[in-house]
Structure 1
Amino acid sequence: MIRTLNILVLSTVAMVPAFAMDAARSEAKQIIELQNGETLYVFKNGLMAKESRYGSVAHLREGEVVQTADGKSIATKGNEVALLASLLNKGHGR
């Protein structure tokens, strides 16, 4: 009984990061993988935010040119750091 309860709790805890990631992915209009392992989120208003390869929010300069995983170049627009941080942390708060 206790072992089953422990397994249930551990599997629920393992799912929390997936729900947080879903929040960011569902809010984004487009998600683009970059060459260096980072991810570019394009939101419905056209503004963008960048997630580092380690899963944290990365600063994005207006007009910065980033390279996609398939070799294309994209000039960025905006720096939605707060929005992406909020979406990535959804489900991790108190």
Structure 2
Amino acid sequence: MLLDLSKIFGRSKSSKDFAKERLKLVLIHDRANVSPQFLEMVKGEIIKVISNYMDIDEDSLDIQMTRTKSEDGDRVVPALVANIPIKNVKSSGK
């Protein structure tokens, strides 16, 4: 019997969702010239830091590496774009 940890922890993704996520990572890798593993590490660190201050919806979190024009408009540079749904802001200790 196989143990499905994603169901135990309340995160069940279909194979379609996993395939979609892998495809996103491959496309991002091609655009930014960084490995999918690197982007997953960045995503994990962003989640860890933001979670100190607010509750976020990790299932709806979307972080992408893309390219955009520089401020001077002369070159194209990588850009990290994040859509992070916030459930609740934690107490600031006031």
Pick the TM interval, shorter chain.
under 0.3
State the TM-score, normalized to the length of structure 2. Answer: 0.24
State the TM-score, normalized to the length of structure 1. Answer: 0.24
